Every structure is written in C-alpha cells, then in structure tokens.
Structure 1
Amino acid sequence: MASETLNERSRRTGRRALFLAVPIALLSIAPLVWALISSLRPGEDIFRFLYPISWETFIPSRITFDNFTTVLTGPFGMALWNSVFVTAVSVVVGLALASLAAFALACMDFPGRSFIFAFLVICFLVPFEAIAIPLSTTFRDLGLANTYTGLILPALGNGLAIFLLRQFFMGVPSSLAEAARMDGLGWFGIFWRIYLPLSKGPMIGAGLILFVFQWQSFLWPLLIAPAPDVRLAPVAIADFAQETGVNYGQMFAAAILTAAIPLLLVLFFQRHFSGSNANSGSKE
C-alpha cells in the first residue's frame, strides 16, 4: 500500500514537472522556430503576421527556398565554408594540444606544475574581449591579418578544455600508468595507449567546447579577418544589414544555417558528451 502511494506521488510529481517543462521549452524554442519559418517566407510576409499572433505566425501560407538559395550561392556560402574549415582545424589541433597539456599536468611531476595549472585557470577566466584589440594589433604587426592562421591560433590554447581533461586524467587509476612503465612504455606511450583510449567521452566534450568557442566567435574574426575571402559566417551574417535596409529573409536563412551545424553535432555526440569516467578500466 505504501509502495503504491509512493508510485502515485512519483507519477503526480512527474506530471507536474512535465506541465511546467513543456511551456518553458516551447517559449524557449519559439524565437528559433519563428526565425526558421521566416526564412521560408517571401520578404513581404515576414512581419505581416507577427501581430496579432495567430496560427499564420508560425505556419506560413507561402513557402519559398529562395532565401536559402541566394545565401548559399552568394558570399555567405564562402563564409560558411571558411567557418567549417577554421573550426575543424582549431578543434583537431587544439584537442591534440589540450590533451597533451592536460596529461602532463595530471600525470607528470615536474617543477612549477601547480603554478602552470593555476596560470592556465586564471587565463581562461579572463574574458577574451579584454585582450582582443591589443592582440589583434600584434597579429597585424606579424603579418597574420586576413589569414587562416590568424583566425586559428587564438583558439588553440583553450584553458577550459585543458582543465576538464586534466580533471579526468587525474581520476584514472595511477596503477595503470605504473604497470605500463614497468612494461617499458614511455610517457607518450602511456598517454597514447592507456589514457587516450579511456578518455573518449571527455575528449568529445572538450572537442565540443573548442568547436563552440571558435564557431560562435565574432569579435576576433571581425578584428583580424574582415577581408571577404577569409570572412567567417558570424561576421557575414551582419552584412545582410546595409544602410539601405535589412534583408531579414536572407539574414534568418544565414542564421539558421549557422546554427544548424553545431546543433546537429551536439545532438550526434550527446550520448558521448554526457559520458564521464565511469568506464575507466579499473577502480581503486
């Protein structure tokens, strides 16, 4: 009887949580849904049904893909490709550097290790906007303006990714490394054959952090790479607002395309991202 009462209470609590969560979720995604629908409307229909709100606000009476076609075949298509390339290189190289740095800080004992880790933590707590302008001046003096290298370099040293990977590596049983050392493996062999295979979930999580930081970057690409041939998607979206007016249909289409790529990646890697060090191979 008590068990049935407990089950009834749990179901009642679940229904209340659901009734509260569904409206909040709908309100959260409503702007994104409206932007998607607006990108499929002709220009004259975008604000036509905005007030008063009716079913036509979210269900278009006329659908066109002209906005997406124009956006992809215009300068924004090149900007989107630039974002994909720059972000992919940033994630691959940045993840390699972050994992090696995290392994060294977690497993190797050397003078100044604690100081270096504290310095990294302080660095990623400093807003990038605070150093973006002087850093862009330095990059211009080095001839890195309007280059892929200039866009990629600041994204490689991500302190948050190093911090997360270090915390995971510290949770791996040290007996695994000791056994590998007895078998003749060096530090890189231990990292490559033991720590790296165990860190699939944290590596994907760190990779997603690197991806999001680079993909959504606006100020740095605006400062260091304003040229059309190296312009990135977030900067190119702003180009749809001209002095003569704003092309909202194309702007919404560009925004949806820019948001779709990280959304698909997060959905694809969600189960890996939520994983932790539950399967570390050994427990102490």
Structure 2
Amino acid sequence: MELPHRIGTTKPRRVVVAVLGVIAGIAFGLPLLWMLSSSFRTSTDIFTSLYPLSPDILIPRVFTLDNYATLLGGGFGLSVANSLFVTAVTVIVGLLICAMSAFALSLLKFRGATLIFAIVVLSFLIPFDAIAVPLANLFRDWNLDNTYAGLILPGLANGFAIFVLRQFFLNIPAELAEAARVDGLTWWGIFWRIYLPLSKPALIGAGFTLFLFQWSAYLWPLLIGTEPDKVLGPIALANLAGQFNIDFGAIFAGAMLLTLIPLILLLIFQRHFTASLAATGSKN
C-alpha cells in the first residue's frame, strides 16, 4: 500500500535535484560566458556593465577581434604552441609509463608491491608545489632548465593516473591473463593485446589527468622555462599584466584560448572520464 506514495514522492525529489543542477550549471557557466564576452570587448568596455548588473554584461556593445589579433601576432601564440607540444608528449609518454606501472601493481605479484602502491598513493596526496623548488634546483644542476625535457619530465609519472588505471585493471578478470600465459603470451603481450584494448575509459581518464596537470601548471614552468622561446601558455598569460598597464581585453582573450582546449576535450570524453573515476571504487 505504500508503493504509490513512494512513487509520488520520487518525482518531486527529481524535480528539486534537476532545479538545483540547473542553478549550479548557471552559477558555473556565467563566469565563463562573461569571460567569453569580455574577450570580444575593448578594455574600456569590459567593466562598464558590472554595476548595476544588466544583460549587457554578456553582450559586447562594441564587438572586436583586436584582442585575439594582438595575442596571435605576439609571443602568446608561440607559448600556446609550446604548451600543446609539452602537454601532448606528456600525455603520450606518461600514459604508457603510468599504464605499465599500474599493470605491474595490479597483476604481477612481487615483494614490496604493497609498499610501492602506498608510495604511489602518497605521491598524489602531496602537492607538487611543495617539492617544485628543490626539484628545480636539481634540474638546473642537470642542465635541464629551459629545455622541453625539463618541462615534460615531472609530469610523466602521475600517482593519481596510476591509481585510476590500477583500480580499473583489477576489475578485469585475472583468468584472461592466466589463459594468455598458458597460450604462451608474454606479460608484455598480455598488457599490450588484452589489457590496453579493454581499458579505453580508464586510459582516457588517466590521459585527461595528465593533460590537466601539465596544461594548467604554473609554478614549474615559471621556475624552469624562463627563456622566451620556452615560455608556456599560463606564464605568457600572467605576463600580459604589465607593471603600469593592464590590457584586460587581451587577458580575457588569452584566458579563453587556454580554457577552450580542455573544455572541448572534456565535452568529447566526459563519458569515458566519468567511467574511469567510477572504476576507482573497486574493492580489490
């Protein structure tokens, strides 16, 4: 007799959750829309509609592409290209390293595996900025400052990416590996032919983690990439604010360019990214 009552109360709850979701989406989306609108305004027009608030805050009074032309015509375009190259290499090479590490920690039984996994978990609980300065001193001693290698190396082995991949690998039936071993397949063959093809969501999630770590990095490239031809996008964006003059239009345009690429990737791969995070709840 209580079933109709429960069904009747479920719908209002869904409506409330949906309304709260819409409100949260608007709250997160409005700043992004304001940044997009401001990137097409002149510097003097950006703050004219802030007080009192009006719909004009999202609609440029004077539409201009000068901000983007200024950025692409200067050194900012080279900085974005540097960020794309450094991030692409980090994702490709780092994903292979993290996947092999996760495979070893999930499938291979060896002494000290539990301790190594504990160190991996501890590594992503410690903020990278806490070790960036002493690590930068080591890289300077090794003559890796102002090199692409110096910018890329710290992002290759990501503890959270290894953790995500390991938890996903644990959900793959171990019988597949045992059967492959009986058929004479090596561990590398099992990893390359069986585990990687089955782990597309986890690989995308781990790759996106590596991408965000490298794409949004600020302190590390600030310490290592000081030469103009090695400056990355976030550093170039910060340099747009001069000591006596701040071009807010160019800053908003640069921020929009640096935001657009991860936003597009997230929209494309969000389903796989969510599935990879859900797999971390494995009890194994």
Q: Shorter-normalised TM-score: what interval?
A: over 0.9
> Do 2:35 and 2:252's aligned partners in 1 also have CA atoms closer than 8 Å?
yes
Match of residue 251 from structure 2: 251
Matched-pair contact (CA < 8 Å) for 1:177–1:190? yes
| Matches of 2:21 and 2:206, distance apart in 1 | 29
Larger CA deviation: 18-27 vs 177-186: 18-27
Which residue is equivalent to 1:165? Answer: 165
Question: Is the Cα–Cα contact under 8 Å of residues 40 and 64 in structure 1 kept in the other structure?
Answer: yes
Counterpart mapping for 1:1-284 below 5 A? 6-276=6-276
1 CA distance for matches of 2:15 and 2:166?
40
- 1:204–1:273 contact (8 Å) kept in structure 2: yes
Query: Retained in 2: the 8 A contact 1:204–1:269?
Result: yes
Task: Give the superposition deviation at 1:180.
Answer: 0.3
The answer to whether the 8 A contact 2:205-2:276 is kept is: no
- Matched to 2:194, the amino acid is I
TM-score, scaled relative to structure 2: 0.93
CA distance in 2, matches of 1:185, 1:19: 53
- In 1, Cα distance between the equivalents of 2:261 and 2:206? 17
Q: Report if the CA contact (8 A) 2:205-2:277 is conserved.
A: no
Q: CA deviation at 1:16?
A: 2.2
Distance 1:28 1:110 in 2: 46
Q: Find the residue that maps to 1:243 and give its secondary structure.
A: coil
Change (3 A) 1:278 1:126: closer
Identity of aligned residues (%): 51
Corresponding letter in the other structure for 1:114? T
In the superposition, the TM-score normalised over structure 1's length comes to 0.93
Kindly tell me the number of residue pairs found equivalent between the two proteins. Answer: 279
- Secondary structure of the equivalent of 1:94? helix
Q: Give the superposed CA RMSD.
A: 1.8
**Cα displacement (A) at 1:278:** 10
AA partner of residue 153 (structure 1): L
Distance 2:136 2:277 in 1: 39
Q: Is the 8 A contact 2:79 2:232 kept in 1?
A: yes
- Structure 1: gaps (5+ residues): 280-284
Shift of 1:264: 0.3
Paired residue type of 1:229: D
Q: Distance in 2 between matches of 1:135 and 1:235?
A: 19
Tell whether the 8 Å contact from 1:68 to 1:250 is kept in structure 2 after alignment: yes
